[in-house]
Structure 1
Amino acid sequence: MLAIPLQFCNGIIPLQIFLAIGVFSCSEYLGVFNKTTNGNTSNNIIAIELDINKDEEFGDIDDNHVGININGLRSVVSAPAGYYDDNDGKFHNLSLVSGKVMRLSIVYSQPDKQLNVTLSPAEFSDTPLEPLLSLKQDLSPYILEEMYLGFTASTGSVGAIHYMLNSVSGPEVDYPSFDISVVPTLPPYPKKVTDKTRIILAVCLILAVTIAFVTSLIGFLFYMRHKKVKEVLEEWEIQYGPHRFAYKELYNATKGFKEKQVLGSGGFGQVYKGTLPGSDAEIAVKRTSQGSSQGKSEFIAEISTIGRLRHPNLVRLLGYCRHKEDLFLVYD
């Protein structure tokens, strides 16, 4: 609620409010009443109600009306929102949810003990002569020497936005003049999300999640494959090791270590014949397991001795390979 100190005195107190009503907010008691305080004579509240929700509990005439309320939510007098044409006197309806800017004029004459309320389109240069609502009642019992002029809005279960664009007030007999061109424009309404938009967003979300999942899966498989073939050097390899072959090279050279490539077998393991990829060099590959009783120790011993010897009568050790639990020696 916006509150402005207001001094009341004898005479006419006019108030012009420029407003537009659109759509969001809640609570049927306008933010100033509740079940206990609604209707209390001690409230000292006089309100002009712009109502877009018909509430049977408070005797609303429809869901688009203006009312004068005193100390509570049940209007003393109300009428459908609109104005009377000065030319022919015809009544024209105004929709309070149209989003259009409107002018609300409130004038109370203490000598006449009359409260007039007029609603009109904002572009009208003059306020219509015939008021929308007119209440002939002495309001002095409800008016204190010092009170507040304020604005509050709520719509119960129905959403709405009430924009108070400007207001002017004063004790003059005539309505205060106001240049409508200086009234700020309404902010744009939030765009309604259509079913088509929801479907597009859902498809985009599913597509994004799918792409992220596939990308992650490919990355994981690539990592596992790289980890699978990755070979880590041990300390003895750095100290004694000759050329180290990649497992893939020996796998291709022996055609996948097929049985028909076996030259022989012994305590150390099996020996395969093969041809190095990219050359015609024939090789012999001795394969054993690190888990065997003599496998790793003999493997290291052979590398550290034969790997350093060069003699025409000795088989030349070209290199070695380690893959998982398997050990390989490659001979010329």
Structure 2
Amino acid sequence: MRKKRVLLLSEGFGSGHTQAAYALAVGLRALNPNIQARVIELGNFLNPVIGPLIVSAYRKTVSTQPKLVGMVYRRQYKKSLNRFTQLALHRLFYNHISQVISQLKPDLIVCTHPVPNAVVSRLKRLGLPVPLYTLITDYDAHGTWTSSEVTKYLVSTSLVKKKLTDRGILGSKIEVTGIPVHPNFWQTHDRVELQAQFGLKPLPTVLIMGGGWGIMYSDNLLEYMTRYREDIQLIYCVGNNDKSREKMLADPQYQHPNIKVLGFTKEISKLMDVSDLLITKPGGMTCTEGLSKGIPMLFYEPIPGQEEENCEYFIASGFGEMLISTETIDKWFKLILEPYASVQFRNSLMTKRNQQYNPMQCSRAVLQLMQ
């Protein structure tokens, strides 16, 4: 009997979309080892030369013109990608996608980014019989995610479901599953062992991240945190931003035994376990990983649009606060310097997490839909 096949399509515009796809694939295989799950970043796969250039241009636009990104996001908020745009995307960048699907013969397709979602929607209009599931990887529902050809929407919260139903999408086509995270974030690691692994002291610890593209070195608030370096350990994760890492390592302000400056790492789940506070750009995946660990979060410089919506959700749910001033840093750093208060607060977040989030729910939902 042939194994069931799931094709998960993403894009490289930020790392969260693809991370969600991989997390779902791992979850599906954990529930049913007979499932074959394949993850593809479609643009890079079909156009290995042009694809990275487009992602690089988008990254530069987000970094240098965030207001423009926000304006475009809001202007198109209620609009799905029209058929002309879908046709243009297909002919310019995705003209071989039909061959890929034909070769892989998936039983269902899950898209974790709006662009492959639109491309597959067009193929379904042309007769592709494979069910299409759309996993929205933020805490908002932009119009570009929507298409009448989608078989089922998998969404993060009931609020996102309401936003879709308000646009006329049937509630029966939407399931609240949460955003899947990798199994590494489902388990808790021993803190003492982690301190030994990373060369850390038994001190309150703050993890500072900037998402897949790294933090901005020039941020004054990030520098202000170093004033606490005698009493609090600071772990700066700058991702793939090698220039920022080199500058920070050369700066005497960051040259201290209680300060670690890391580049890209696959150990984020362990770093969250060994930390008492997470300071991050509010990407949907990073926020969900923080939620799964029950770690309090401070959010800085959200990209206008979906990251602002992510912030709003997690702040309203009691999992975080906007980092807007040095007073915010003082408040939270003083909290984690009080061991009892810090532990009590994190325990309360774990209770909320258990009430609101099940890391296996999305994988179970897809598995059930396959039967």
| TM-score computed with the length of structure 2 as normaliser | 0.19
Q: Larger helix proportion, structure 1 or 2? A: 2
TM-score between the two structures when normalised by the length of structure 1: 0.20
Structure number with higher strand proportion: 1
